[in-house]
């Protein structure tokens, strides 16, 4: 038994006046709906991630299934539940693509409460004085009693499936379905930052700061060692000497990323006198830095790299290196540039006794 995350991304976004559908608009450096998918994957809580959309999208991940949605939100949700009804999922999380800012911690909290409940829904309170208009009468509501519900909302699969299957009324979330049928819901505190992107102006409310970082590295070439560049093994007469695998490209990128975040340098993270880092592969050194970047709401805008060597010829390995860097950093290939620079056979580098690399990165931090 396992859980499924359903992302509803079939909405038409009538209040969002833009040619691009809201869920596909670029938000914090990637399409809006991708934020939810990335968090669902990263949480490791789900066997399947279902994306319900009426647009053609392609996503390379075995966990992701894409299906066509309905006209209304509740119909899209119905379709997804119908699609997975024979998969024996214990629980299902349903989320609106328009809420990209929830935390993985919220997913974990919801899951914990599912042990004792069949429906768990996050909410926040309001600071506004609240009234309710019912026919011709307007009444005051106690604002402490007003729950503004959010998504992800999560449910015991069977309970939700049975309620949803027969529903024909226009409910705006699954919590309404449970309430309409007098079923119990466990409400838990949601997150203030987990707001819904509804209007174009919601996008403009984000404050972005841009930072730059520079990195340089050089390693000596020695015989009987494999050469690694940008995470790839490259056939060559020598390899780079170092405490690690000597990957100058990755090391200079790490220093550039740390520089942009004002976090000192690679040596302070991976001291060369520490045995546990001996022979460490450089992608392993890069990985926690990328996670840290994402956790701090930072995104890479572009990277420009100068690989300084007489040989190997950069043009021969450019695509391979860019592909692997893009995978290691979880970024698009087209924001990485790699230049080869020879030194007219001068000095250590010119005599193929060393390879150097310099990188510059730009990152955006979203507040
Ligand atoms: Zn190095």
Domains of the chain by range and CATH? 3-204 (3.90.550.10), 208-366 (3.30.1330.50)
Distance (Å) from CA 241 to ligand 1 centroid: 9
Distance (Å) from CA 218 to ligand 1 centroid: 6
CA–CA distance, 97 with 48 (Å, rounded to integer): 16
- Strand stretches in the chain, DSSP E: 2-8, 26-27, 30-31, 48-52, 64-67, 89-96, 119-124, 130-134, 137-141, 148-149, 153-156, 186-189, 208-222, 227-229, 232-234, 239-240, 298-308, 336-341, 354-366
Distance (Å) from CA 330 to ligand 1 centroid: 22
Distance (Å) from CA 267 to ligand 1 centroid: 9
Distance (Å) from CA 299 to ligand 1 centroid: 24
Distance (Å) from CA 4 to ligand 1 centroid: 42
Q: In this predicted structure, what is the pLDDT of residue 134? A: 85
Q: In this predicted structure, what is the pLDDT of residue 273? A: 81
Distance (Å) from CA 265 to ligand 1 centroid: 11
Distance (Å) from CA 5 to ligand 1 centroid: 41
Distance (Å) from CA 282 to ligand 1 centroid: 9
CA–CA distance, 354 with 239 (Å, rounded to integer): 9
- Provide the whole-model pTM: 0.75
Distance (Å) from CA 248 to ligand 1 centroid: 5
Distance (Å) from CA 102 to ligand 1 centroid: 37
Distance (Å) from CA 310 to ligand 1 centroid: 18
Distance (Å) from CA 250 to ligand 1 centroid: 8
The CA distances from residue 215 to 244, 264, 273, 300, 325, in Å, are: 17, 11, 21, 15, 16
Neighbours of 8 (CB within 10 A): 27
Q: In this predicted structure, what is the pLDDT of residue 23? A: 86
Distance (Å) from CA 55 to ligand 1 centroid: 45
Residues of the chain with pLDDT under 70: 1
Q: In this predicted structure, what is the pLDDT of residue 208? A: 85
Distance (Å) from CA 242 to ligand 1 centroid: 7
Distance (Å) from CA 219 to ligand 1 centroid: 6
CA–CA distance, 245 with 365 (Å, rounded to integer): 31
Q: In this predicted structure, what is the pLDDT of residue 1? A: 57
The CA distances from residue 3 to 40, 61, 261, in Å, are: 11, 17, 36
Distance (Å) from CA 346 to ligand 1 centroid: 21
pLDDT tens by residue, 310-322: 999 999 999 999 9
Q: Kindly tell me the sign of the dihedral angle through the C-alpha atoms of 124, 74, 5, 88.
A: positive
Where b means 16+ CB within 10 Å and e means fewer, 18-53 reads eeebbbbbebbbbbbbbbbbbbbeebebbebbbbbb
Distance (Å) from CA 297 to ligand 1 centroid: 27
Tokens of 264: 């000192």
């Amino acid at each position: 038994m396992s859980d499924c995350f359903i992302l509803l991304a079939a909405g038409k976004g009538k209040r969002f006046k833009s040619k691009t559908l809201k869920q596909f608009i670029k938000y914090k450096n990637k399409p809006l709906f991708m934020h939810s998918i990335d968090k669902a994957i990263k949480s490791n809580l789900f066997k399947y991630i279902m994306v319900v959309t009426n647009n053609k999208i392609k996503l390379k991940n075995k966990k992701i299934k894409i299906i066509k949605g309905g006209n209304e939100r509740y119909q899209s949700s119905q379709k997804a539940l119908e699609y997975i009804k024979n998969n024996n999922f214990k629980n299902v999380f349903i989320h609106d693509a328009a809420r990209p800012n929830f935390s993985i911690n919220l997913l974990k909290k919801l899951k914990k409460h599912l042990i004792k409940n069949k429906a768990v829904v996050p909410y926040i309170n309001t600071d506004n004085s609240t009234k309710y208009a019912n026919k011709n009468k307007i009444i005051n509501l106690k604002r402490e009693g007003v729950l503004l519900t959010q998504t992800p909302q999560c449910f015991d699969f069977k309970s939700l499936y049975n309620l949803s299957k027969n529903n024909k009324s226009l409910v705006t979330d699954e919590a309404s379905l449970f309430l309409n049928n007098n079923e119990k819901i466990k409400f838990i505190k949601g997150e203030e930052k987990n707001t819904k992107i509804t209007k174009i102006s919601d996008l403009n409310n984000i404050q972005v700061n841009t930072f730059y970082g520079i990195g340089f590295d050089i390693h000596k070439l020695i015989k009987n060692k494999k050469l690694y560049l940008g995470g790839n093994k490259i056939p060559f007469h020598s390899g780079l000497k170092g405490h690690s695998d000597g990957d100058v490209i990755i090391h200079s990128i790490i220093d550039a990323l740390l520089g942009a975040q004002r976090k000192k340098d690679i040596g302070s993270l991976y001291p060369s006198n520490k045995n546990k880092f001996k022979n460490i592969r450089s992608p392993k050194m890069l990985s926690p830095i990328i996670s840290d970047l994402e956790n701090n709401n930072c995104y890479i805008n572009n990277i420009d790299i100068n690989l300084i060597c007489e040989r190997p010829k950069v043009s021969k390995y450019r695509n391979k290196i860019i592909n692997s860097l893009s995978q290691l950093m979880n970024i698009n290939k087209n924001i990485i540039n790699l230049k080869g620079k020879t030194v007219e056979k001068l000095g250590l580098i010119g005599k193929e006794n060393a390879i150097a690399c310099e990188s510059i990165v730009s990152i955006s931090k979203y507040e």
